[in-house]
């Protein structure tokens, strides 16, 4: 257990801590997470440490963003290991509220982002998910008033939603979108990967394999979005990986494009058993997740 990190358990404590930082002339960076921290989270924390005077990481499994029948109860919780990682990374404060501190029983305000952005893609499969995300992020931004808040492109639609929330509510926070970090075999790191058995994990690799095929096709001049998406879809289907969607989109509005251009993103949501997996590639920016020979060393394990 950490001895150095300031532990904050309720929004007023977070506000006080942050007020004090700002009063001392320091810029605060916020990294919101649901815990079960891995190298993807670590990359956000390092970026925040490099750019801000003080860093607070929130760890909160936000019940509002889980639908009925989703995995809120079994979502991995690794509090001791998480705090050890924050300590190792020189994080200044951990915000670790309980659900009652964030949502007292009388609370009746939620934040809703227009359906044009929140009813498509993830929103089509997880109704009201993004209202839950928007509400918790708005509360964190109000309490911490960070100069910058850090999010991962892996959750590309979430990035688009929180960027709108931060701007529309005049929070004064800049949303920094950080690159996706992959495991040694090319799979996008996710707290939910612990749900996958060995055979399921092999099937899940159809996602980075399909994205690699799409990246190579794009590099070879293929611009038809439908053809790029088909490469990913076919790879997933060949491994019995359920396809919720494969979409080639414009990065700001997340609207589908017919012709892919550099900067467009391929967003993927797949299912292996009960486990949902997200992935994303930025065309013309990201390398193929898997090298020509197959898996490629991308990062050391957490």
Comparing C-alpha atoms, which of 205, 227, 203, 201 is closest to residue 216? 227
Minimum CB distance to ligand AMP smaller for 154 or for 225: 154
Minimum CB distance to ligand AMP smaller for 18 or for 33: 33
DSSP SS3 for 6: strand
Q: Cβ neighbours of residue 41 under 8 Å, at least 6 residues apart?
A: 31, 33, 57, 85
Q: Do 250 and 282 contact (CB within 8 A), yes or no?
A: no
Q: Name the pairing type of β-strands 174-178 and 148-152.
A: parallel
Which of 41, 112, 129, 184 is labelled catalytic? 41
| Shortest spacing between CB 205 and ligand AMP, in angstroms | 15
Element of type H or E holding 48? helix 39-51
| Shortest spacing between CB 32 and ligand AMP, in angstroms | 6
| Shortest spacing between CB 216 and ligand AMP, in angstroms | 22
| Shortest spacing between CB 33 and ligand AMP, in angstroms | 4
- Which residue is closest to ligand AMP by CB? 152
Minimum CB distance to ligand AMP smaller for 147 or for 225: 147
Comparing C-alpha atoms, which of 95, 93, 1 is closest to residue 49? 93
DSSP state of 205: T
> How many other CB atoms are there within 10 angstroms of residue 232's CB atom?
28
For residue 247, what are its two tokens? 């979409």
Question: Which value, to the nearest 10 degrees, does the dihedral of the CA atoms of residues 247, 252, 258, 263 take?
Answer: -90
Return d(Cα 44, Cα 57) in angstroms, integer. Answer: 10
Interface ranges with ligand AMP (CB under 6 A): 33-34, 40-41, 43-44, 151-152, 154-155, 178, 180-181, 188-191
Minimum CB distance to ligand AMP smaller for 225 or for 289: 289
For residue 24, what are its two tokens? 């001392």
For residue 218, what are its two tokens? 């794009």
| Shortest spacing between CB 222 and ligand AMP, in angstroms | 26
The CA angle 135-176-156, to the nearest 5 degrees, is: 65
Judge whether 125 counts as a catalytic residue: no
Minimum CB distance to ligand AMP smaller for 118 or for 191: 191
SS (H, E, C) 207-253: HHHHHHHHHHHHHCCCCEHHHHHHHHHHHHHHCCCEEEEEEEECCCC
Minimum CB distance to ligand AMP smaller for 151 or for 218: 151
| Shortest spacing between CB 231 and ligand AMP, in angstroms | 22
Give the residue numbers annotated as catalytic, written as ranges: 41
């Amino acid at each position: 257990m950490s001895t150095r990190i300031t532990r904050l358990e309720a929004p007023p404590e977070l506000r006080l801590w942050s007020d004090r930082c700002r009063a001392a002339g320091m810029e605060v960076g916020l990294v919101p997470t649901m815990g079960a921290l891995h190298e993807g989270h670590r990359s956000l924390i390092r970026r925040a440490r490099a750019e801000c005077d003080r860093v607070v990481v929130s760890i909160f499994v936000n019940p509002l963003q889980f639908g009925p029948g989703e995995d809120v109860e079994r979502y991995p919780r690794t509090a001791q290991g998480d705090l050890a990682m924050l300590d190792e990374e020189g994080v200044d404060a951990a915000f670790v509220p309980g659900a009652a501190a964030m949502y007292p029983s009388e609370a009746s305000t939620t934040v809703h982002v227009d359906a044009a952005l929140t009813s498509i893609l993830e929103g089509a499969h997880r109704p009201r998910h993004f209202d839950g995300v928007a509400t918790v992020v708005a509360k964190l931004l109000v309490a911490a008033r960070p100069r910058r808040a850090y999010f991962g492109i892996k959750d590309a639609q979430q990035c688009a939603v929180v960027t709108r929330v931060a701007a529309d509510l005049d929070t004064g926070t800049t949303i920094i979108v950080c690159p996706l970090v992959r495991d040694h075999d090319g799979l996008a790191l996710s707290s939910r990967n612990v749900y996958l058995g060995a055979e399921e994990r092999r099937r899940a690799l159809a996602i980075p394999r399909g994205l690699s095929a799409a990246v190579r096709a794009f590099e070879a001049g293929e611009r038809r979005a439908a053809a790029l998406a088909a490469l990913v879809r076919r790879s997933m289907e060949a491994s019995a990986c359920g396809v919720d969607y494969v979409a080639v989109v414009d990065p700001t509005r997340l609207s589908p494009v017919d012709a892919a251009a550099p900067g467009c993103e391929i967003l993927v949501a797949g299912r292996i058993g009960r486990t949902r997996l997200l992935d994303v590639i930025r065309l013309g920016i990201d390398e193929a997740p898997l090298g020509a020979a197959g898996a490629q060393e991308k990062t050391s394990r957490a």
